[in-house]
A and B are shown apart, each in its own frame.
Chain A
Amino acid sequence: MPEVAEPDFDVIVVGAGIAGCVTAYQLAQQGREVLLIERGEAPGSKNLSGGVLYSRGIQEVFPGFLDEAPVERRITRNCVTFLNATSSVGLDYQDARLADPVNAVTVLRARLDPWLAGKCEEAGVTVMPGVRVDRVLTEDGPAANAAGAAPWHANGTTGRRVVGVQAGDDELRARVVVAADGVNSFLARDAGLRPKDPLNHLAVGVKSVVSLPRETIEARFNLTGDEGTAIAVVGDCTEGVGGGGFLYTNTDSVSVGVVVRLDDLTAQQKVVTDIFDHFLAHRFIAPYLEGGELAEYGCHLVAEGGLKMIGEIVMDGMVVVGDAAGLTLNTGLTVRGMDLAVASAVAAAGGIGAALENKDTSKAGLTGYRERFFASYAGQDMKTYAKAPAFLEHERMYKQYGELFADVLYGAFSLDTRPRRHLLSVARRALAHSPLKMRHLVSDGIAGGRAL
């Protein structure tokens, strides 16, 4: 591998989100020269998430994470709710075991990410905020890599080798570039790694952070101290568009939002802000927010394709991590992204470290990243839930099931002075009045059991 000019850094990481910061931090810990470039005026200022971070992975990276990092609440109560226009049926799971050891925390990224970037600086990373990377610098790659006799994935056949990045008039060179530039990853696209994603794999999340006194939050959500609640909602909240709503408690605010699939949103010609307004005004949602003050309004594109979204994440001189690699996972009960960002960053730091050690930062030399990722719990989970996105696309999930469940329960709870029937008969009757058929229940039950 001929090196023309001595690079400015061993590694340039683009994007100071969770994936970028963890990658940079671990490489600096290995003694590498690392530059972390962030386009926001400060790390975190462009970053937004729904807000639940499954935290075991990041605790391994930063053992003092829970005590030192600005996290909001430790999630001990998870609710999954089918919301209809005038009824709602849910699962409400609260468990003290989820607090010890802590499993998940709510975070606000404009507060968390500066802490992560600070850890990077402590470890010796050069952090450069306020700089937008415009493109990757490439040179002709090795026409045929001896170590890579197997034909590359079609998208990876760029014939180019990434040697650095360009920001304005500045060219910065490194042995490896890490694209941690988020779901839109202009770098991965620029390098030819990521074609345009199909709309059924993308969703837009719209979120408000609503300030409320912490005592009010604790009373309203049945919490003690720094415990927190995560409520996931499907059904009427998105007016029948594929997706869902959420309410997450922070220390003294609530993150409330909807996430809607772009293919369905455009097909149904709905306005995304109307859907959000409808959710906020819903009779079963509005009381949670009563008296609150809007602190901030934001949105975020979400990759929902699961395993299918992960294309080529390694090429000559560059790897892609976190959201930029399409790493999100919706299993119906848990919605994950930030923990996958951590796992991909740990795998990338390991793979890049090995490549630098072996003085081979070609695609073949960096492939340890991919191997490490898919060997990790996160990579295995992506495979386990590979069928979840297609299953969750069924519109029955968003319209008919919630109403069916409510009809069965209404039959059971509404003692209208007529003689009672057994629950099975009530359910059969409700099903007869529902557009759902027994075959849907059976096939969805089997498919759901396999996919989720």
Chain B
Amino acid sequence: MKPLSVPERLAKNRFNLDEEESHIEVNQEIARATGTGRAIVACCPAHVYAEEPDGTISVEYAACLECGTCLAVAAPGALKWHYPRGGFGVQFREG
């Protein structure tokens, strides 16, 4: 099987994007102070998080596969993460 990048993989999935509301919010200060930023960049299978040149963490919430791993590794207060509103987000067809 030909190797695919994460965005190429995600392109095979079906998403129902909630254009009005992000379900993820990073507290940049706490994320930086606690190392949460690096941790969530490394552990997210969908590459939702990226470290920008200025050290802040950007969030591509549309790519989220809703596993909750980022929330599990985040220090208290560093990350607000909940499920997208009903009907929105990834829609698995295989599962």
Contacts and interface: CB of A to CB of B under 8 A. Distances in A.
Pairing of A with B:
yes
B1 A291 contact: yes
B59 interface: no
Contact of A289 (B1, B47, B91): B1
B56 to A, nearest CB: 19
Contacts of A108: 94-95
A48 interface: yes
Nearest to A265: B43
B92 A262 contact: no
A81 to B, nearest CB: 19
Nearest to B71: A184
Nearest to A295: B94
A208 B66 contact: no
A41 B91 contact: yes
A186 B89 CA distance: 17
Contacts of B69: 202, 204, 262, 272, 299, 301
A435 to B, nearest CB: 27
A109 interface: yes
B39 A204 contact: no
Contact of B95 (A110, A210, A269): A110
Contacts of B82: 186
Interface string B1-19: 1011010011011001000
A240 to B, nearest CB: 15
Contacts of A196: 72
A131 B88 CA distance: 10
A372 interface: no
A49 B95 CA distance: 7
B68 interface: yes
Given A186-B82, A262-B73, A41 B87 contact: yes
Contact of A296 (B12, B16, B47, B73): B12
A113 B43 contact: no
B86 A39 contact: yes
Contacts of B26: none
A110 B93 contact: yes
Interface stretch (A61-69, A274-282, A307-315): A274-282
B79 to A, nearest CB: 12
A96 interface: no
A148 to B, nearest CB: 32
Interface in B38-83: 38-39, 41-47, 65-69, 71-73, 82-83
Contact of B45 (A44, A109, A276): A276
A298 B13 contact: yes
B90 interface: yes
Interface residues on A, range: 35 or more
B47 A273 contact: yes
Interface string A253-273: 100000000100110011111
B9 to A, nearest CB: 4
A88 to B, nearest CB: 19
Contacts of B1: 210, 280, 286, 289-294
Nearest to A257: B45
Given A48-B92, A108-B94, A289-B1, A294 B42 contact: no
Contacts of B43: 204, 262, 265-266, 272
A327 to B, nearest CB: 16
B45 A273 contact: yes
Contacts of A284: none
Contacts of B66: 46
Nearest to B91: A45
A112 B38 CA distance: 37
Given A48-B92, A297-B12, A277 B3 contact: yes
Given A44-B95, A184-B68, A292-B1, A299 B73 contact: no
Interface string A409-448: 0000000000000000000000000000000000000000
The 4 A-B pairs with the shortest beta carbon distances in the complex, nearest first, are A109-B95, A110-B95, A297-B9, A130-B87
23 contacts: A40-B91, A45-B90, A108-B95, A112-B95, A132-B85, A208-B9, A262-B72, A266-B43, A266-B73, A269-B42, A272-B45, A280-B1, A280-B3, A294-B4, A294-B9, A296-B95, A297-B13, A298-B13, A299-B45, A299-B65, A301-B67, A301-B68, A301-B69
Given A49-B95, A130-B87, 16 more contacts: A41-B16, A41-B87, A131-B86, A183-B68, A184-B68, A209-B94, A266-B39, A266-B43, A272-B43, A272-B44, A277-B3, A280-B1, A286-B1, A290-B1, A294-B4, A301-B68
Interface of A: 39-42, 44-49, 108-113, 129-132, 167-168, 183-184, 186, 196-197, 199, 202, 204, 206, 208-210, 253, 262, 265-266, 269-273, 276-277, 280-281, 286, 289-301
Interface of B: 1, 3-4, 6, 9-10, 12-13, 16, 38-39, 41-47, 65-69, 71-73, 82-87, 89-95
